[in-house]
Structure 1
């Protein structure tokens, strides 16, 4: 940008200006030519700046439109991904439920583990310790009489409940009862 030309003098009144111009016409002619060139260059620079501003505003408008379009595309893609993930999770859940139902249906009902009228005690939890419950004495051998059946059944049932951790499986309980019935060692 060109520097603004300075006048040859700064008179205070119009009469002083006329007097100075009549005494130094070449200086004032030079000043007026330079001032004209300066104003033309300012107008050209101003026009260039206005064109630049206009093109930048157009570019800014286009960029904002692209940004808005991309945001819209991302939101739509996110919604599709969420929808797909939800459907996949529902499908997996449905398949797992069906699998559990099939496994439950395929699991055979166990035969009676205990004598009729007695419930199988749940195995006691170990709670991380390896010690077993205090062992109760074995019931007396069953002699086969009907009168002795109730006593034997109650004693075996009581032992199974009190020492559930010693008989954690149905096979273990069955082996113990069979041993007490036959008199063979357990």
Structure 2
């Protein structure tokens, strides 16, 4: 079927149309029916096309809005980039001026040297040569003078032991060293070389793939520390700290030593103060826990408990020291037999170490004379 209905013929006037219609009315009826059907279909298709056209127009408007927004953002980014470049150029100029002033200040700190030019012709008419002050440039700064202007050198930290327990100590020590003595290691290459020198053989193998021709190719020493953290760090540091908080005990340590370890674990655990109070109360020694019976705290807040346990521990240490001074030789019995006091131990050492005197052999117990007056011989 063609795109649209075609009439049986194309009459040139009305008379020809009436004649053809009278001759074959069925064919014209079929044409008119097909024409009406085609027009209805075209009307439905036109509605669908109009709806799609509206949707496309909406999409075009949205894309135009996004394009305008992208163009605005691009212009803003370009403007910001230009501003950063200008600021960078200005800072570089300021840095050059500061370096020049620093050089002038360093050179001005050196005393001027007067050099006498000898007279070539001893002519009395000629004027005497006057000592001329030597100006810039001065002699280069010596190593001793430059070292005097550097920061005080911090001792080198111990080498990294390639263990998880030693990672925090090494990280803090290296960061502190390179922060305070940054003027001694001004470049990233020098800082990375120093960090690599503080690694043992096992941990150095992690950094060795990044070294080419004796130079570490990483951006700075922070990247070396990140590699060590990925290899030796605890991925579940908070969970591990909470588990250790549940098992840590003070036992026979003083409270200050115990609390230092407890505080380190509490910071790693991420728990708040209200959650730390039960862990602290469970971890203290039995003596401090018994002292709570007669010396309860004002409240069971974490910081209040810490202060209270510190005061109780001080009183306990003072009590132990007082007992030691009052009863210096009293020792707990180690089993059956006599208690060996420090004086007896010292006397035995002196007796055994005295030269020329050998300890007399002891008599067997059966041959010892009993206590009391000596027996008289029978008459």
TM-score (norm 2): 0.30
Counterparts of 1:109 and 1:149, CA distance in 2: 33
1:42 aligned onto 2:42 = yes
Distance in 2 of aligned mates of 1:67 and 1:3: 41
Select which of 98, 105, 112 maps to 2:114.
Answer: 112
Cα distance in 2, alignment partners of residues 32 and 46 from structure 1: 21
Deviation, 1:2, is 5.1
| Aligned equivalent of 1:131 | none
Distance in 1 of aligned mates of 2:31 and 2:116: 125
Partner of 1:13: 13
Cα distance in 2, alignment partners of residues 114 and 104 from structure 1: 25
CA distance in 2, matches of 1:68, 1:114: 77
Q: Could you say what secondary structure the match of 1:53 adopts?
A: helix
CA distance in 2, matches of 1:41, 1:98: 84
Provide Cα deviations, 1:150-177, integer angstroms capped at 9, x if missing partner. 4996xxxxxxxxxxxxxxxx9xxxxxxx
After TM superposition, the score normalised by the length of structure 1 is 0.57
SS at match of 2:114: coil
Query: Does the Cα contact within 8 Å between 1:21 and 1:28 map onto a contact in 2?
Result: yes
Shift of 1:97: 0.4
Could you tell me which residue of structure 2 aligns to residue 51 of structure 1? Answer: 51
Q: In proportion to residue count, which structure has more helix?
A: 1
In structure 2, distance between residues paired with 1:12 and 1:2: 23
Shift of 1:68: 0.5
Moved more, 66-75 or 38-47: 38-47
1:36-185 to 2 correspondence within 5 Å? 36-107=36-107, 108=110, 110-115=112-117, 150=126
Aligned to 1:29: 29
Structure index of larger Rg: 1
Q: Distance in 2 between matches of 1:50 and 1:10?
A: 33
Cα–Cα, structure 1 residues 102 and 44, in superposed 2: closer, same or farther, change >3 Å? same
Q: 1:90 & 1:14 partners in 2: Cα distance?
A: 93
Cα distance change of structure 1 residues 52 and 4 upon mapping to structure 2, 3 Å threshold: same
Q: Is the 1:8–1:27 Cα contact (8 Å) retained in structure 2? A: yes
Q: How many residues align?
A: 129
Deviations 1:60-119 (A, max 9, x none): 111111111111111111212221222222122112201111111211354123439x9x
Shift of the 2–51 alpha-carbon distance from structure 1 to 2, 3 Å rule, reads farther
User: RMSD in angstroms over aligned alpha carbons?
Assistant: 3.2
The higher relative CO (CA closer than 8 Å, separation ≥ 6) is in 1
4+ aligned runs moved over 3 Å, structure 1: 147-153
